[in-house]
Amino acid sequence: MDVIITENIEGVSIDALSEKFKVYRDEKLWDKRLELFETVSTARAVIVRNQTKVDRSLLENAKSLQIVARAGAGYDNIDVAAASKLGIVVSYTPEGNSISTAEHAFALMLALSRKLVVAHRDTALGGWSRYSFVGTELFGKTLGILGFGKVGARIAIRARAFGMRVVAYDKYILPNQFTVTETGVELKPLEEVLKESDIVSAHLPLNQDTIGLLNYDKLKLMKKSAFLVNTSRGGIVVEKDLIQALEEKLIAGAALDVREKEPPEESKLNHMDNVILTPHVAAFTWEAQKRVVDTVVEDVTRVLHGVPALNYVNFSLPKKGLKNVTD
């Protein structure tokens, strides 16, 4: 088999891929570990989203594998170091869903600030409690962005249009970079961003530096009137600490599109009126998914035809059998 698709990834470009290569598609394969191992063992390419755990053991078992293509911007579910040691290309789609994610984050900010979800629920049940749902404006507020990459920069542009002051934390971004100078964002240490912001929006990758970053001590730094929005990775926020902070009214509310465990288990978060939960759908618009699928199919096709990938994490062409390879 040439290409294995382990999750729900569809589109015209996927259909076109099937005309060029032998493609096996099973949107539940990610959840069938033994079958996944067996199926991937002879594959030349694997296309995944975020649910497939592409670890060292899976990669070592895939003797013919040339590329792991991630349909999305993050790749924390892929052991890139192991793939690199084995000479396997890892590609992703850094641009495809950034607009949709930025828009979703803003939708959550507005929904929290204007109490839209609880107001809708009450009104739909026959209520008309106008003074129970007095909200706050975004205008004049400070937005703190954690992670000033492709999504964070787009959020900053939209926030300025709303008349917001924007501060950001990103230890890899320099003050003279184009996205900073053109958006007027103030780069600050994490603790200062948390203290100054009326809304904190997280857009960080999940790695050893960020896992559990927003714990109880960090949440205590936020204003009691502040909201937390997370559309990046669930592991950035310690959920039990967030629940405690909400119960103690250390922050005013939270909106989570991502969770520590997905799908999540029963949680107190499910029953809080100042919490909005969505099922990891920030990137799920028709436009974004078309861009993502088109991009991932393009790189898989290129690699299988011996042409360098365009959106690669480690190197552009497979280097099977080589140790400690670099591009």
Q: Which residue has the higher pLDDT, 323 or 10?
A: 10
User: pLDDT grade, residue 320 (50/70/90)?
Assistant: confident
Query: What mean pLDDT comes out for the span 30-42?
Result: 95
The pTM (predicted TM-score) of the whole model is 0.89
Strand-pair category, 142-146 with 89-91: unpaired
The predicted pLDDT at position 324 comes to 52
- Asked if CATH classification 3.40.50.720 holds for the domain at 3-96+286-304, the reply, yes or no, is yes
Instruction: Tell me what pLDDT residue 73 has.
Output: 86
Query: CA torsion angle for 317, 80, 189, 216 (degrees, to 10)?
Result: 160
Residue 325, pLDDT above cutoff 70? no
Alpha-carbon torsion angle 310, 203, 149, 59, nearest 10: -30
Per-domain boundaries in the chain: 3-96+286-304, 98-277
Tell me: the pLDDT tens digits for 238-285? 999 999 999 999 999 999 999 999 999 999 999 999 999 999 999 999
Q: Is the pLDDT of residue 127 over 70?
A: yes
Helix, strand, or coil (residue 241): helix
Average pLDDT over residues 280-295: 95
pLDDT: which is higher, 74 or 30:
30
Q: Homologous superfamily of 98-277 in CATH? A: NAD(P)-binding Rossmann-like Domain (3.40.50.720)
Q: What percent of the chain has pLDDT over 90?
A: 94
Express each pLDDT in 166-219 by its tens digit.
999 999 999 999 999 999 999 999 999 999 999 999 999 999 999 999 999 999
Q: Which residues are designated catalytic?
A: 233, 262, 280
The structure tokens listed for 229 are 């929005």
User: What is the chain's alpha carbon radius of gyration, rounded to the nearest angstrom?
Assistant: 21
